[in-house]
Amino acid sequence: MMSIGTLLAYTLVSVCVLLLRYQPDEQTDTHQFRVEEDEVTRCTLLFFITSFFLWSTVIYGVEQGSGVGAVFSGLMATLMAASLVKLMVLILQQPESTRRLPYMAPCVPFVPGAAILVNSYLMLKLSPLTWARFTIWCIIGLLIYGCYGVWHSTLELNAREQQAHASSYQRYDDHLDDTFSPDDSFSAETFRSFLFLDKPL
């Protein structure tokens, strides 16, 4: 049986595949892709969130419900499924990146979208105890990262070091006199006279 961490990792990989497939590359005008990139990001996040709400409604409202509640849950699930189809169509209409890699996920965005739906369904079918353990470990990991990791990160230390160097250079440059005029410099004749090079032998 797969763990909740593995299923969540597969889901996040599918989300990243959707986001990266519609990223601009070096040969593409970034201004042209800016609006489309924001649209893809918004649609992908909505697809990810809506898939969890859809399966939650199906599992806890339709399968475990009865009577009017089950019918209402079925209608809500139908509306959310229609919303997922609309989001998939919006993602499909966006221009893809022209970059070609040795391996690329096929049938984007259908394969990542199906993976998100399947993984979210499997995660919601796990026991409440599994979710409780997962939540506790996530909180512990966030506390460790917030209290220690973010302050001792190599990237953070390098950024602080570069900022300190930049500020020290700025303070040094502030004390320098950048005003320079030709009148303040020695001319060639003055320099030769100073060295006694123009005296007859």
- The CA distance from 25 to 98, in Å, is 7
Residues 6+ apart with CB under 8 A from 37: 22, 23, 24
Chain centroid to Cα 57, Å, comes to 29
Residues 6+ apart with CB under 8 A from 92: 109
Structure confidence at residue 59 (pLDDT): 92
Structure confidence at residue 3 (pLDDT): 85
User: Whole-prediction pTM value?
Assistant: 0.69
Residue 104 DSSP SS3: coil
Please give the chain's pLDDT, 201 residues, in tens.
568 989 999 999 999 999 888 876 655 555 555 566 788 899 999 999 999 999 999 999 888 877 888 899 999 999 999 999 999 999 988 888 777 777 888 888 999 999 999 999 999 999 889 999 999 999 999 999 888 887 777 877 787 788 877 776 565 555 555 555 555 444 555 555 555 544 554
Residues 6+ apart with CB under 8 A from 125: 59
Structure confidence at residue 67 (pLDDT): 82
Specify the residue for token string 């959707």: 18
Residues 6+ apart with CB under 8 A from 28: 97, 98
Token pair of 151, please?
Answer: 């302050």
Residue 70 DSSP SS3: helix
